[in-house]
Structure 1
């Protein structure tokens, strides 16, 4: 049995004829390990995670965590999950130790040993007495992960955990999430940073405008653009505008007063040799409106 099961999930706002679909008939399952959830802002990622965490109720559909229905068995579900939202409000005057201890007590956990164990997991023991207000952004995110790990959850749900962090902190975070996902546990990682998904996740889903666009492994998504990525050198912006009318431009770089455009050449219309494709190529391409069957 899968750890997470999402079946025909729908979340709407408003009434006819002005209904907005935050999620529209989303169905997929998640096994153990780190599972990536990609999508632009507004794609429905946060809505889906709040539904899994029992914070938001779906309009229709079924969501289960370890076999428990999130709507009918919310108490059981909440015992199994740790949740780190994109914005976690903290008490700036509290120390790291006091804040995580407080979050532990909210889960009926009063063991200082367990608090210190999660601080050790995120490499924050040496900062245990430092006030939250004195921490960097990366340290605050580590404290948030520690709070989510209290109680040894089976499922860890994290929303944009590395947004705004420097490369060193992002690598540190990936290590924490990877270590947690061992031994049959599950991490659901929502992000728009493709590199994090590529480094961590064997499986991923892509949401677009509330609908499930893709679900599978990274290699399968990359295979859709295999052999079709090329780099074209341009002289000026006018050539770039003209190129954009002919094909999908995935990225541009400016070097020595020239423009290098990374493009998707579906019909082999350009003479340049193909270059090695990446997950970001496939993701940017599909977010541009292309559909894979």
Structure 2
């Protein structure tokens, strides 16, 4: 069952800047990844899906409800964590989540404690927001999104700036939520989060949908094309970039090792195993698949 259906979605701002152009894809139950650089249109799309912003044209259905004509019904199904969530630093964790839950009509204080326990913040319920670390604030953010038992969770760059331990903890929370036939739409530019969590994903580039499908399908685009070549001097790197997509560069004592995507088979060295990050960097590199 499709939890989210996006058809021919376009968003143009009043200054004539087009943020999204003719976007169409579907999101089923589980964790779905939305990848793209800053400025690719991810946050605009998240705001439209969360019914905060209206599209210029096209349609979106959340749990079967059209957000343009049935926005109230759609909102009841959604938990939303924006990229920047304003918090009141003098409130305690418990009082803040109680306040956010009340805005959704949830007044049961036990349910607030339940969502805090889900994100491992129960023991900090009495601590003031201003005393929390960045990772703890993100956990409070996901707790308020979980209040009201949503069916669909929309999270925008939830692990940006977090240390590795907090990122692992956050991924665990999202995975646990999605296991009961629910849906998480995870917007991020961190490929590792998508690799660990998502079976399916979409890639936005400059406001357009570049790819939608499974992680395996995206990987297949780079299969047999990833190679490692050695160059002697840094000035040779510019010439290499004209011939291939340079995925990464490692400086060794013996020279410079460049991990490249050889589209035309110009480099007579054996390919190495491709990664999801290789395929994603290729997507962002201005090249087009045939």
TM-score, structure 1 length as denominator? 0.96
SS in 2 for 1:237: coil
Alignment correspondent of 2:5 = 5
**Cα distance between partner residues in 1 of 2:256 and 2:221:** 26
Q: Give the one of 148, 162, 167 matched to 1:170.
A: 167
Which of 16, 19, 22 is matched with 2:19 structurally? 22
Q: Does 1:223 align with 2:214?
A: no
What is aligned with 1:128? 125
Distance in 1 of aligned mates of 2:265 and 2:285: 19
Greater displacement, 262-271 / 153-162: 262-271
The equivalent residue for 2:188 is 191
* Deviation larger for 169-178 or 243-252: 243-252
Query: 1:165 and 1:236 mapped to 2: Cα distance?
Result: 36
> Is 2:35 the counterpart of 1:38?
yes
What is the alpha-carbon distance in structure 2 between the residues aligned to residue 14 and residue 122 of structure 1? Answer: 39
Alignment partners' CA distance in 2, 1:268 and 1:10? 38
Per-residue deviation, 1:14: 3.6
Distance 1:120 1:256 in 2: 50
Q: Which deviations, in whole Å up to 9, do the C-alpha atoms of 1:219-273 show, x marking residues without a partner?
A: 1011011011011122221111221122111111223363211101122222322
Paired residue for 1:179, among 176, 179, 182? Answer: 176
> Which segments of structure 1 move beyond 3 Å, counting only runs of 4 or more?
none
Matched residue count: 290
The counterpart of 2:231, out of the listed 234, 258, 280, is: 234
**Corresponding position: 1:146 with 2:137:** no
C-alpha separation in 2, matches of 1:212 and 1:143: 32
The residue number in structure 1 matching 2:274 is: 277
**Structure 2: tracts of 5 or more residues without a match:** none
Q: Distance in 1 between matches of 2:167 and 2:55?
A: 32
Q: Distance in 2 between matches of 1:245 and 1:291?
A: 15
For 1:222 and 1:65, how far apart are their aligned partners in 2? 29
Q: Distance in 2 between matches of 1:21 and 1:231?
A: 38
Give, in angstroms, the shift of residue 120 of structure 1: 0.6
The normalised TM-score by structure 2 is 0.97
Matches within 5 A, 1:49-68: 49-68=46-65
- CA deviations over 1:16-49 (Å, ceiling 9, x no partner): xxx3211111011111000000111111111111
